[in-house]
Structures are given as structure tokens and as C-alpha cells.
Chain A
Amino acid sequence: MAKIVVDVMLKPEILDPQGKAVAAALPRLGFTFAKDVRQGKRFEIEVDGEPTAAQLAEVEVAAEKLLSNPVIENFTVRVEK
């Protein structure tokens, strides 16, 4: 079943101490690939049947109003099969 996925990330200019902590922990485990890590949130929203354009538009509004704080975060909305 398809679901609506909202990804929320801190804006690039906002410091992300959690991402930094993860980036610092990786090399301690022998993983040396990471130049930088940013941590975000993912919301999976289920609706009845296939998401409609109207529902997606509503999710956009909800993402702006509640799921993200536009002062510090960006978000994307997409449908995942």
C-alpha cells in the first residue's frame, strides 16, 4: 500500500549536534567514509487507498504547520509505493 512520506531536515545553516555526534561515533567503529552526517525525521502517513492530490496538498500544509518548524527546518513530501 502506498504511503505519504514527509522527510524533515534541519536547514543547512542550523547546527546539528546530534548529526555531529553520530559522525564522531562512526570512525570509532572503524567506519571512515563519513565526511559529515545530518540527522532528520521521517513521517510515514497512511491513507485509505492511493493518496490523492488533495490529500498531498493537505499534508504539505500540515508539514508546514506541525511536522516541521519552518524557522529551522525544511521538509519534502512524496508518495512511496
Chain B
Amino acid sequence: MKIGVVTFPGTLDDRDAARAVRHAGGEAVALWHNDADLHGVDAVILPGGFSYGDYLRCGAISRFSPVMEPIIKAAQSGMPLLGICNGFQVLAEAHLIPGALTRNHELHFLCRDQTICIENVNTAWTSSFSQGQEIVIPLKNGEGAYMCDDETLAMLEGEGRIIARYVGENPNGSRNLIAGVTNERGNIVGLMPHPEHAIDSLTGPSADGLGFFTSVLKSFISGGVK
């Protein structure tokens, strides 16, 4: 299974994301922002960082980079796509998932180990977890407050599309403690905290994050997303 990891100018976490893919048993393929060729990958990860220096709005410029055109097209036809942190912001800017990410309510950049609760295990990226499982992975963001209107929030809650919620105090002001959401089909997931930094106890606070990467590999073996 080939999983593409996109590097935009200013991306930071592409190496860790690729390492997480390899750790989970997949083949990581480096994708370049300026190359509109997906090189035959089966899934794509948009990693964290500060693509294009977060100019204009986080993810606003990256969303229009050449590599995004085939990614958006493929994801709309069911290809698994995971956006982590800045990647989540890119997904929101591309309107592949509803809502937007805004400045943390306390303004400070956060960097800490965060407990989140997995609430939807029926997506391409969360099937390795159990419903209600609490995991600890790093959270590091300046603009991680998930915002959407009341109608969208009710829809996300009603359809079980909030895939993960922060446990305990709200770290960044996200509505309803939202840490991650999915699209209607369950192939696209946006996640603010960083599972790729928590794939073994040597380099991360836990190995809990690995589940996101084993999930997507499993989704191919079991014949893809519903």
C-alpha cells in the first residue's frame, strides 16, 4: 500500500508522517506541492507545519497548490485523505470537510501531550481504535479552534462525524471539544493533534497514534471504505 505524504513549503511533519506510515507497514511516497502527479498512491496525508508561512490564512494558499487538484478529485471519489494540524486547515480551506480552524481562544501556541477520545471508528483512518477509546498524542497548534455554525455543528453531532474530542479542559476553544471530523463518506479525516508523533514510546508520549496509520492500511485489505 502506497501512502503519499505531501510536502508544501513550510511543512514540518512530513518526515514523521512518512515514518509513521512505514512503522504501520505501508510504503510512504513523498509528494511535492508543485507536482500535480500522485505517483500511484492509494491514500494521501497532508502533514502539519506552517505551509506558505500561514500567510493569508492557515492552509489558504496551499489549498490551491498544483498537487491539491488531483488530491481533491481523488478524495471526492473515495481515496482516503488525512489532514493533520496544518493539513486539517488545508482540508477546511478546500471545503473537503465543513468548518474552519481559527486562533486558539487563549492566543498562545500550545504544545503538550493531549488526551483525546475516539468517537467514530467507522472511518478509513480510525477503524483500528475502539469506540470511546482514550489515547494520548501531542497537540501543537496556534490556530486549532474548530469553528462552524450551529447548523453544521448539529449535523456533525447528529451524523457522528466528530471522530475525536479533547478530554478535559478545552485546550484551544474548539466548539464541542472537537479534535477531528470526517466527511460524509468517512474517507477524509481532519485532525488537529498529531498521531504521527506518537508511534513508539521512544520518540513519543505513547504509541497510540499508530492506529490512524494501521487503520488506513487495514481499509485497503478489507476492500476500501464503505
Q: Please report A residues at the B interface, Cβ cutoff 8 Å.
A: 10, 13-18, 21, 66-67, 69, 71-72
Contacts and interface: CB of A to CB of B under 8 A. Distances in A.
B99 A18 contact: no
Given A15-B147, A15-B173, A71-B99, 10 more contacts: A13-B149, A17-B105, A17-B106, A17-B173, A66-B64, A67-B56, A69-B57, A71-B95, A71-B98, A72-B147
Contacts of A18: 103, 107
16 contacts: A10-B102, A15-B105, A15-B145, A15-B173, A17-B103, A17-B106, A17-B173, A21-B107, A66-B60, A66-B64, A67-B56, A69-B92, A71-B98, A71-B99, A71-B100, A72-B147
B43 to A, nearest CB: 26
A75 to B, nearest CB: 12
A16 B105 CA distance: 8
Contacts of B173: 15, 17
B93 A69 contact: yes
Nearest to A43: B56
Contacts of B106: 17
Given A14-B102, A17-B106, A18-B107, A69 B60 contact: yes
B206 interface: no
B51 to A, nearest CB: 15
Contacts, number: 38
Interface in B38-88: 56-57, 60, 64
B100 A72 contact: yes
B191 to A, nearest CB: 18
Contact of A66 (B56, B99, B147, B148): B56
Contacts of B105: 15, 17
A36 B103 CA distance: 18
A71 B60 CA distance: 13
Interface in B123-158: 145, 147-149
Contact of B148 (A10, A16, A21, A71): A71
Contacts of A21: 107
Contacts of B64: 66
A70 to B, nearest CB: 9
Contact of B92 (A13, A14, A15, A71): A71
A21 B17 CA distance: 35
A9 B171 CA distance: 25
B102 A72 contact: yes
B104 interface: yes
